[in-house]
Amino acid sequence: MPSPSTILKSFYKPLDKDRHEIRLVRLHPSKGMELPISCELFIRSLDKGPKPNFSALSYEWGSPFGDKESIFLNNIEVEIRPNLWSALKRLRQADEDVTIWIDALCINQEDHEEKKYLVNRMCNIYKNATVTFAWLGDERDDSDIAIVELSRLGKHFADLYANYKTAAADGMVHTTKLSAPEIEEEMRKKYTAGDWKQAESLDRLIDSFGPCRALLSRSYWRRIWIIQEVTVSSRVEVICGNFRMDFNHLRGAIILMSIFLQRVLCFFATKFSSYPIKCWPPEDVELIKNLQGDIPRAAATIGKCYY
């Protein structure tokens, strides 16, 4: 493998600051996940000539220690951190190139003047990207269940925003609008013997609490840069493993789940002993208490991306 100095000279030709140049990665296609990752760096101006069509990656670098993964960059084998390697595997298409901004590759990390120049332009880079991919990491802790349920809730929130009556017909959304006595009566009806079918939507939500909590507790949400990256982006797509969802749907799901926790779950947690609800074992009550902390934290981060 070539020396670091040789690699740096090969990859990082000087940028013309007067032309507001940046580097982009062209991720080459592959028809197999197991095949090596191949990509190349090239220079484009954001202000001169035709605007480049590119996406941007919002992700967590991960620890600089530990094992590295190999990719081919400009036909030279280089090592990158595992989380970026996984993201590239998922973003790679079968039949066409993907042009993307990735700070770890597009910035010469050994050139402090260049780092300062590009960090100052970071807002403009994400603003010009057609889409920003928020990479949460590989699938784990039933993250597929979490993404599916959060997508469902997010779409309901979008319906609620566009057409109040449409979303109000959904049992969960309807329940969040009720007063405490009305909630009690509604839940009594849903959970009386032989009436479980009416509670299917609610049961699915409860079953997803563990996976949702794990997803919303990932260290990605503690990144300070997410606020800038997401705020200025025209569109954001959340990716976890093979599953994707619109960031606006995630925001809507967080809002609905926060309301649900406050207006329904807390109410029943305090009166747990009064109801013969077999789906509420003590561990679920404990999970609800934990979610009451995790969801507001995630909501606070996401909220800052909009206000």
Confidence class for position 97, pLDDT limits 50, 70, 90: very high
Mean pLDDT over all residues of the chain? Answer: 77
Q: What does the domain layout of the chain look like in residue ranges?
A: 4-130, 143-217+247-304
Instruction: Summarize the confidence of residues 214-237 as an average pLDDT.
Output: 86
Q: What is the pLDDT of residue 69?
A: 94
Is the CA virtual torsion 239, 245, 251, 254 positive or negative? negative
The rounded distance, in Å, linking the Cα atoms of 90 and 137 is 10
Q: What is the pLDDT of residue 33?
A: 79
Residue 76 pLDDT more than 70? yes
Q: What is the 3-state secondary structure (H, E, C) of the chain?
A: CCCHHHHHHHHCCCCCHHHCEEEEEEECCCCCCCCCCEEEEEEEECCCCCCCCCEEEECCCCCCCCCCEEEEECCEEEEECHHHHHHHHHHCCCCCCEEEECHHHHCCCCCHHHHHHHHHCHHHHHHHCCCEEEEEECCCCCHHHHHHHHHHHHHHHHHHHHCHHHHHCCHHHHHHCCCHHHHHHHHHHHCCCCCHHHHHHHHHHHHCHHHHHHHHCCHHHHCCHHHHHHHHCCCEEEEECCEEEEHHHHHHHHHHHHHHHHHHHHHHHHCHHHCCCCCCCHHHHHHHHHHHHHHHHHHHHHHHCCC
Q: What is the pLDDT of residue 160?
A: 63
- Main-chain phi, psi angles of 122, to 5 degrees: -60, -40
Confidence class for position 267, pLDDT limits 50, 70, 90: low
Confidence class for position 112, pLDDT limits 50, 70, 90: very high
Instruction: Summarize the confidence of residues 266-272 as an average pLDDT.
Output: 52
